[in-house]
Amino acid sequence: MASIVSTGMSKFGNDSRKLMDHLLEASAGIVEQFRDTIDYVVLSTPYTLAFNGASGISSAFTSISGLVDVPYMSVENTSASGSSAILAARSMIESGQADHVLVVGGEKMNSYPTRTVSRIIATLLAKEEASAGLTLPSVAAFTAKEYINRYACPRESIANVAVQNHHNGSLNPLAHFQKEIPMEKVMESRVIADPLRLFEFCPISDGAAALFVVKDDLAESFTKNPINVLSAESSSDTSYLSMRSSFIDIPSIRSASVKAFRKAALKPEDIDVVELHDMASILEIVELEEMGIFPRGHAWEMIDSGYTALNGELPVNTGGGLISRGHPLGATGIAQAVEIAEQLSCKAQGRQVKNHDVGLSLNMAGYGNNANVIIYGVS
Amino acid sequence: MASIVSTGMSKFGNDSRKLMDHLLEASAGIVEQFRDTIDYVVLSTPYTLAFNGASGISSAFTSISGLVDVPYMSVENTSASGSSAILAARSMIESGQADHVLVVGGEKMNSYPTRTVSRIIATLLAKEEASAGLTLPSVAAFTAKEYINRYACPRESIANVAVQNHHNGSLNPLAHFQKEIPMEKVMESRVIADPLRLFEFCPISDGAAALFVVKDDLAESFTKNPINVLSAESSSDTSYLSMRSSFIDIPSIRSASVKAFRKAALKPEDIDVVELHDMASILEIVELEEMGIFPRGHAWEMIDSGYTALNGELPVNTGGGLISRGHPLGATGIAQAVEIAEQLSCKAQGRQVKNHDVGLSLNMAGYGNNANVIIYGVS
């Protein structure tokens, strides 16, 4: 089994730092303390060729970090690259290829105007559909309309996800946004894809996150509070969104969740804290249902009731989620694991949740083109 | 242990086909026969964002191939991405994450003029060095000069690598070039980086290659001749070429080879057939020495003697190497494994070698920024 024994994160946001600055900042604590122990590096910087005109970042990163003769590779799986890097690291450890893996992921997206950034992200869509004008925000908007119609969900209940995640982010000193955004402000913000508005989407963020993952029987020598990866599963769906039966069904999330719960021998009700892929507000609702945490059509009521709030029964996106922490593509899956590890080891300070034995993260590529679900437990 | 039970390759070259056409062509035999068995896909198309303006190719590939709900990831390690994908697949199998992994890698490089292609490849160099004018061909030229001076190696003995690899490629129906290039023609060809000339470099190629890799105890149900991955090791060096003590020392190759021989419990003299990373002629010479196959300063004499020829004691680059088969970046490491597997299972037809129990492939990222060495054996 693989255990997380140390974590790191750069301040997410939009500033003048370069991708390498973020990667080094996120990993500095781990590298300084464990440089001679690290025996594999897995990187996740999937869009760096497009955003930063660089390739072979894993080579540059290990060189600059002074990691001598350490093997490495980079993993690409669009917006789920970070969690795929965790899955790869876990396989390295469980196969005996490595015992001490540094996982680092990041993205510097604010290198071009929004228009160019959107065009780069759209390279993950099926070409025929992208050239027909499809964008990820527009799919989120279709999903919201379908959900509202089918389940008589009030419009404000969708926006409430953004209110809650911005609240959580206001307590996370590394989040991109650290400000409360009240309901009126969400509902008055600019329409991005009708009915969804600006504050309901993740921003364009720069940032990096890092994990030090080791073989579980070595974990005790690094920390008193190792976080075990109980299961880490992946499922996929067609990349042709027009071939999906409905936008509120995301079968890859359902399938990966079923596998992850089964392999961890746990049920949804065993989970204490969740990080999920709220690229847009509506996705938090749909994902909670697809993971089997709430019944279909009811997640919005549970969110409205405070069940998923920081002090609720099952806090969700305690770090602010993609909406408030930000979504540097290569970092997100790793930042989710950082947040879960901090919660489970009681280091989340102002946003610490009360129950913290078992955590779950969901990271999604494209619009459910694939989904990675990881379940974490204290040992 | 992981075993290769099926292989595929598209015709390498420069034509109007798209990247996806190459990936589908290379994998068609495997997918048609084993579609329902494949439980993981590892892709290697590292430069597709730059060459083809696409990301998430693993999602598009599995969708178009009809691989339903199969998990996947892409691996990036510049010119060694293909072999890194094999290492990742092997870890998936040895960790129990997957039993039947389809590995596919390819590149469509002829989408831009040579000048642009060179600029894209140069993104793997350290930024400071690339902007000072360093290119991979120029480093190969420095290496050739240093080697000639230090070991009194005749200029023609370096060119002889190109003659031999073009000969081997002339017998490979899927090679980019399938024509004998005699010594005079090599030595009269255009100078690319003095003293090295056009026919001594790999061309700009499009192509893809595929492997079906399964857990060894399942291999017999797929083929009578499984090829076992006896070891697969990776080592790295600084990405700053100006910090290297000498260009004819490539420590990552030496380190990865030592580890791979040790883990396979084999010695260089046990190897029957080699595929190596002849991005330029001189590299074949230096790599044979760094792998410990020939003593320092003597590989050129061994090549001149016919020892590494198709009918020699230790045939090298029987498929034509990067120089003649071509070097579509994401495909190369996989194409090397395809060639070794064909040789070890006696399917290499006109270029079949006589001894074929143990094979070795060396795939290198950048100029030895890292090196992957894989040793293969018949079971």
For residue range A101-150, what is the model confidence (pLDDT) as tens digits? 999 999 999 999 999 999 999 999 998 999 888 999 999 999 999 999 99
Q: What is the pLDDT of residues A147-176, one digit of tens each?
A: 999 999 999 999 999 999 999 999 999 999
Q: Does B39 reach chain A within 8 Å, measured CB to CB?
A: no
Whether residue A59 and residue B236 make contact (CB cut-off 8 A), yes or no, is yes
Nearest chain A residue to B59 by CA distance is A239
Chain B partners within 8 Å of A131 (Cβ)? none
- Distance CA(B356)–CA(B105), nearest Å, equals 25
Closest by CA position to A173, among listed A320, A16, A343, A334: A320
Picking from B53, B75, B240, the nearest residue to A63 by CB comes out as B240
Whether residue A78 and residue B63 make contact (CB cut-off 8 A), yes or no, is no
Whether residue A91 and residue B91 make contact (CB cut-off 8 A), yes or no, is yes
Q: Does B69 reach chain A within 8 Å, measured CB to CB?
A: yes
Q: What is the mean pLDDT of chain B?
A: 97
Chain B partners within 8 Å of A239 (Cβ)? 56, 59-60, 62-63
pLDDT at B217 over 90: yes
Closest approach of chain A CAs to the CA of B368, in angstroms? 10
The ipTM, to two decimals, is 0.96
Picking from B77, B97, B240, the nearest residue to A91 by CB comes out as B97
Nearest chain A residue to B128 by CA distance is A60
Whether residue A94 and residue B92 make contact (CB cut-off 8 A), yes or no, is no
Superfamily of segment(s) B125-204+227-378: Thiolase/Chalcone synthase (3.40.47.10)
Q: Does A353 reach chain B within 8 Å, measured CB to CB?
A: no
Average pLDDT over residues B244-271: 97
Q: Does B245 reach chain A within 8 Å, measured CB to CB?
A: no
Whether B2-113+205-221 shares its CATH topology with B125-204+227-378 is answered: yes
Q: What is the pLDDT of residues B36-86, one digit of tens each?
A: 999 999 999 999 999 999 999 999 999 999 999 999 999 999 999 999 999
User: Helix/strand/coil (H, E, C) string of A142-175?
Assistant: HHHHHHHHHHCCCHHHHHHHHHHHHHHHHCCCCC
CB proximity list for A205: less than 8 A, separation 6 or greater? A12, A13, A14, A107, A109, A110, A176, A325, A326, A327, A328
Whether residue A55 and residue B47 make contact (CB cut-off 8 A), yes or no, is yes
B2-113+205-221 maps to CATH 1.20.910.10: no
Picking from B63, B84, B123, the nearest residue to A49 by CB comes out as B123
Whether residue B252 and residue A69 make contact (CB cut-off 8 A), yes or no, is yes
Query: Cα dihedral sign for A120, A125, A130, A133?
Result: negative
Whether residue B74 and residue A69 make contact (CB cut-off 8 A), yes or no, is no
- Distance CA(B29)–CA(B31), nearest Å, equals 6
Residues 75-104 of A with CB under 8 A from B: 75-78, 84, 87-88, 90-97
The pLDDT score that the predictor gives to residue B379 is 82
Whether residue B365 and residue A62 make contact (CB cut-off 8 A), yes or no, is no
Q: Does A234 reach chain B within 8 Å, measured CB to CB?
A: yes
Picking from A60, A124, A255, the nearest residue to B55 by CB comes out as A124
Q: Does A369 reach chain B within 8 Å, measured CB to CB?
A: yes
Average pLDDT over residues B113-142: 93
Structural Rg of chain B based on CA atoms: 19
Q: What is the mean pLDDT of chain A?
A: 97
The first and second tokens of residue A325, run together, are 């922490």
How remote is the C-alpha of B66 from its chain's centroid? 28
- Long-range CB pairs of A175-182, under 8 A, 24+ apart, other chains included: A175/A12, A175/A319, A175/A320, A175/A324, A175/A325, A175/A326, A176/A12, A176/A13, A176/A14, A176/A203, A176/A205, A176/A207, A176/A320, A176/A324, A176/A325, A176/A326, A177/A203, A177/A320, A177/A324, A177/A326, A178/A324
Q: Does B72 reach chain A within 8 Å, measured CB to CB?
A: yes
Closest approach of chain A CAs to the CA of B244, in angstroms? 12
Nearest chain A residue to B253 by CA distance is A69
The pLDDT score that the predictor gives to residue A365 is 97
Q: What is the pLDDT of residues A191-235, one digit of tens each?
A: 999 999 999 999 999 999 999 999 999 999 999 999 999 999 999
B114 exposed, middle or buried (CB, 10 Å; 0-12, 13-18, 19+)?
Answer: exposed
Chain B partners within 8 Å of A366 (Cβ)? 56, 59
The pLDDT score that the predictor gives to residue A49 is 96
pLDDT at A379 over 90: no
Does pTM top 0.95 for this prediction? yes
The pLDDT score that the predictor gives to residue B90 is 98
pLDDT category at B198 given cuts 50, 70, 90 is very high
CATH architecture of A126-202+227-378: 3-Layer(aba) Sandwich (3.40)
The pLDDT score that the predictor gives to residue A340 is 98
Whether residue A369 and residue B96 make contact (CB cut-off 8 A), yes or no, is no
A29: helix, coil or strand? helix
Average pLDDT over residues A245-274: 97
How remote is the C-alpha of B172 from its chain's centroid? 15
Picking from A63, A233, A237, the nearest residue to B238 by CB comes out as A63
Whether residue B76 and residue A70 make contact (CB cut-off 8 A), yes or no, is no
Closest approach of chain A CAs to the CA of B97, in angstroms? 7
**DSSP secondary structure, A176-226, as one string:** S--S---HHHHHHSPEEETTEEGGGB----EEEEEEEEEEGGGGGGT-SS-
Whether residue B94 and residue A92 make contact (CB cut-off 8 A), yes or no, is no
Whether residue B69 and residue A251 make contact (CB cut-off 8 A), yes or no, is yes
Closest approach of chain A CAs to the CA of B173, in angstroms? 32
Chain A partners within 8 Å of B237 (Cβ)? 69
Closest approach of chain B CAs to the CA of A186, in angstroms? 32
Q: What is the pLDDT of residues A130-140, one digit of tens each?
A: 988 899 999 99
Q: Does A209 reach chain B within 8 Å, measured CB to CB?
A: no
Nearest chain B residue to A93 by CA distance is B95
Chain A partners within 8 Å of B70 (Cβ)? 236
Whether residue A251 and residue B72 make contact (CB cut-off 8 A), yes or no, is no
Chain B partners within 8 Å of A42 (Cβ)? none
Q: Does A72 reach chain B within 8 Å, measured CB to CB?
A: yes
Domain map of chain B by residue range? Answer: 2-113+205-221, 125-204+227-378
The identity of residue B186, as a single letter, is: V
The answer to whether B316 touches B169, Cβ cutoff 8 Å, is no
Q: How many CB pairs under 8 A join A and B?
A: 177
Mutation site, B67, B236, B263, interface A, largest A CB count within 10 A: B236
The answer to whether A43 touches A72, Cβ cutoff 8 Å, is yes
Q: Does B59 reach chain A within 8 Å, measured CB to CB?
A: yes
CB proximity list for B62: less than 8 A, separation 6 or greater? A236, A239, B41, B70, B72
User: Lowest mean pLDDT: which of A6-10, A207-211, A244-248, A274-278?
Assistant: A244-248
